[in-house]
Amino acid sequence: MNKRIHIGGTNQKSLLIDSVNGRRLEPTLTITKLTTEAQRLTWALNTCLASGLRLTLIRRAILGLLAKHLSPVNIEILSHEEELKGRCDTTTIYRMLMMLKDQRIVRQVNVRHRVRHFVLNVPGESFAYLICRSCGLIKHLDSFEGEAAMKHQIAARGYTDLSYELEFHGLCPACQRAIGS
């Protein structure tokens, strides 16, 4: 059986990997990196429909917000966004996120273990995050060469359905200014 493996990096390519011996067969189509908000939202809505989930107003709003945020966001942030404020409580948002997570449309990011953060599970996007160790701000990092090579190596060993998180901790510019003042 052949499996299509998504390899990260700026030049996103899908490769056919023979899952029996991990041999790389041939490069196939080149997929465009889903970076724009519109593309990320289209992917999310289509995946929702393909999973048989109804696109309720709240669900659509949550996906719209997650498409807008490339970096992981928590429920608190989502609940204060204009699109959701006063329309549903945090319990409803949590339930929706869990449902979307079950369908693998949303990924729970565990980089700050005290607070759950969520991000769209868009194929080909990096799982690397830059976290401020003072205020906890989380920023998404672009894919880098080493990450793509590591994914390739793992795919070559016959593993699929890979998940991981890379954390880089530092002090953000705002926190540096606050300390300096």
Q: Which of 130, 132, 141, 166 binds Zn ion (CB under 5 A)?
A: 132
Q: Is the CB of 154 or the CB of 172 nearer to Zn ion?
A: 172
Least CB distance from residue 132 to Zn ion, whole Å? 3
Least CB distance from residue 138 to Zn ion, whole Å? 10
Least CB distance from residue 36 to Zn ion, whole Å? 27
What sign for the dihedral angle of Cα 71, 74, 76, 82? Answer: positive
Helix (H/G/I), strand (E/B), else coil: 24: strand
Q: What is the identity of the amino acid at 84? A: L
**CB-CB contact of 129 with 138 (8 Å):** yes
Of 127, 131, 105, 109, the C-alpha closest to 118 is 109
Per DSSP (E only), the strands in the chain are 2-7, 13-18, 24-30, 73-74, 106-109, 117-120, 128-132, 138-141, 166-170
Tell whether residue 130 is a contact of Zn ion (CB under 5 A): no
**CB-CB contact of 22 with 32 (8 Å):** no
Q: Which parts of 136-155 interact with Zn ion (CB under 5 A)?
A: 137
Q: Is the CB of 20 or the CB of 179 nearer to Zn ion?
A: 179
Q: Which parts of 162-181 interact with Zn ion (CB under 5 A)?
A: 172, 175
Least CB distance from residue 171 to Zn ion, whole Å? 6
Residue 37: strand pairing partners = none
Least CB distance from residue 91 to Zn ion, whole Å? 29
Of 31-39, 45-53, 130-138, 157-165: span binding Zn ion (CB under 5 A): 130-138
How many binding residues for Zn ion (CB under 5 A)? Answer: 6
Q: Is the CB of 22 or the CB of 136 nearer to Zn ion?
A: 136
Q: Which of 74, 81, 134, 159 binds Zn ion (CB under 5 A)?
A: 134
Q: Which residues bind Zn ion (CB under 5 A)?
A: 132, 134-135, 137, 172, 175
